[in-house]
Amino acid sequence: MKTRYEQIVDATRIASRDSKENLGAIIALAEAENSKPAVEDSKRNLLLAIDIQNDFMEDIGSLAVPGSRGDVGRLTKWMYHNIEGLTQVICSLDCHSVEQVFHASWWIDEEGNRPERFTLITYEDVESGRWKVANGETERSLEYLRNLEMGNKKQLCIWPYHCLEGTFGAKLESEFTKMLYFHATARDCAPQMIYKGQNPYTEMYGIIKAEYDTDGYVNQTVLDAVGQYDAIYLAGEASSHCVLASLEQILEYYKDEREITSRITLLEDCMSPIAGFEAGTMEQFKLLQEKYGIQIQKSTDVTL
């Protein structure tokens, strides 16, 4: 390519509040490449970029993931070096309101206090009165907690307020955004944005479905897309939660189609876990690799 990586991404401003997107200039550079349109690819490659948003970035995010700055640097370099082979990018974006079951505003204790960050709340906690639902949605909240336990899901965790709709924290990280739109323009292929987590009554770690919801929502669009590509690559934040849950949900859907699950590759150096979940996350990925034949590789070892 004529355009250098440094003309697109300023590595010193990854995960920075003063990053200058200058998308007009980026788009002009991409147009000058005269690259082959993505629709002409003989082998179709998909990147699922999970929650690469400011609130998950080191130093600037309310739910910062250690290692996220380096992840963005490596992912944008991988995208740059594989522009001609990367057919499509689907980005998931957490999108929340203040009043959600996993935010402190939903709960209050016997003395009127809100729960601290990372408090775990169980069905028994609510039944016993240790925690009360502040907005009166007690029955629905109990139903949710009961179904989490019956379904062997993660316990309800009180997360810091993050990815609130319309805020800086909810935006895609700016340097990643620049590479995303450079790719999109160069290959004449608009990125797809998939918003998740807007249902106030549930948590939604994965891109496909919530932990539990009464409507049983499933993002069939993403599932169908996975089945249409020759290779699928996953990256993003955090590997221990939203990347892992997205992968598990996709594999559950395609559990009887190993020819599809074996097309999936985790770019392990383009994702990081929430602190304290390092060993368990990699153990889970290894189990999924054995069961479904997925690949786990460093971005530097993958060429499209």
- What span, in angstroms and rounded, lies between the C-alpha atoms of 38 and 189? 6
Cβ 225 vs Cβ 254: under 8 Å:
no
- CA-based radius of gyration for the chain: 20
Does position 276 have pLDDT exceeding 90, yes or no? no
In the chain, the percentage of residues whose pLDDT exceeds 70 is 100
Q: How far apart are CA 299 and CA 71, in angstroms?
A: 10
Q: What is the per-residue pLDDT across 85-95, written as a single tens digit (0 to 9) for each?
A: 999 999 999 99
Residue type, 38: A
pLDDT confidence of 84, banded at 50, 70, 90?
Answer: very high
Structure tokens at 133: 């639902």
Distant-in-sequence, close-in-space partners of 168: CB < 8 Å, separation ≥ 6:
17, 54
Cα–Cα distances (Å) from 135 to 100, 105, 112, 140, 141, in that order, read 10, 9, 13, 11, 10
- The average confidence (pLDDT) of the chain is 96
pLDDT band of 20, cuts 50, 70, 90: confident
pLDDT at 298 over 90: yes
pLDDT at 149: 94
Place of tokens 């949900």: 249
For position 196, what pLDDT does the model report? 97
CATH of domain 5-98+162-301: 3.40.50.850
Instruction: Quote the pLDDT of residue 279.
Output: 80
Cβ atoms within 10 Å of 66's Cβ, excluding its own:
13
Range 54-62 average pLDDT: 97
Average pLDDT over residues 131-142: 95
Q: Is the pLDDT of residue 18 over 90?
A: no
User: Is the Cβ–Cβ distance between 60 and 15 less than 8 Å?
Assistant: yes
Residue 107: CB atoms within 10 A of its CB come to: 24
Split at pLDDT 50, 70, 90, the class of 75 is very high
Cα end-to-end distance, the chain, whole Å:
15
pLDDT, position 74: 98
Q: pLDDT band at 198, cuts 50/70/90?
A: very high
185/149 Cα distance (integer angstroms): 46
The string of DSSP letters for the chain reads: --S-HHHH--GGGTT-TT----HHHHHHHHHHT-PPPGGG-SS-EEEEEE--BGGGSTTT-TTPPTTHHHHHHHHHHHHHHTTTT--EEEEEEE-B-SS-TTSGGGEEETTSPPPPTT-EE-HHHHHTTSEEETTS-HHHHHHHHHHHHHTTPPPEE-PPS-SBTTSGGGSBPHHHHHHHHHHHHHTT-PPEEEEE---TTS---SSS--SS-TT----HHHHHHHHH-SEEEEEEE-IIIIIHHHHHHHHHHTTT-HHHHTTEEEEEEEEEPPTT-HHHHHHHHHHHHHHH--EEE-GGG---
What is the per-residue pLDDT across 99-133, written as a single tens digit (0 to 9) for each?
999 999 999 999 999 999 999 999 999 999 999 99
Which residues, listed in sequence order, are joined to residue 51 by a DSSP beta bridge? none
CA dist 300 and 219 (Å) reads 31
Residue ranges per structural domain of the chain: 5-98+162-301, 104-157
Which pLDDT score, from 0 to 100, does residue 19 have?
Answer: 77
pLDDT (0 to 100) of residue 21: 81
pTM here is 0.95
Return the pLDDT at 178: 97
**Does the N-terminal peptide bond of residue 238 adopt cis geometry, omega within 30 degrees of 0?**
yes
Report yes or no: 219 and 198 within 8 Å, Cβ to Cβ: no
pLDDT computed for residue 243 by the predictor: 98
Give residue-wise pLDDT tens across range 218-247: 999 999 999 999 999 999 999 999 999 999
In the block, which residue shows the tokens 């002009």? 28
Asked whether the predicted pLDDT for residue 250 surpasses 80, the reply is: yes
Q: Which amino acid is at 239?
A: S
Q: What's the average model confidence in pLDDT over 23-44?
A: 96
**What integer pLDDT is reported at residue 100 of this predicted model?**
97
Residue 277's pLDDT is 85
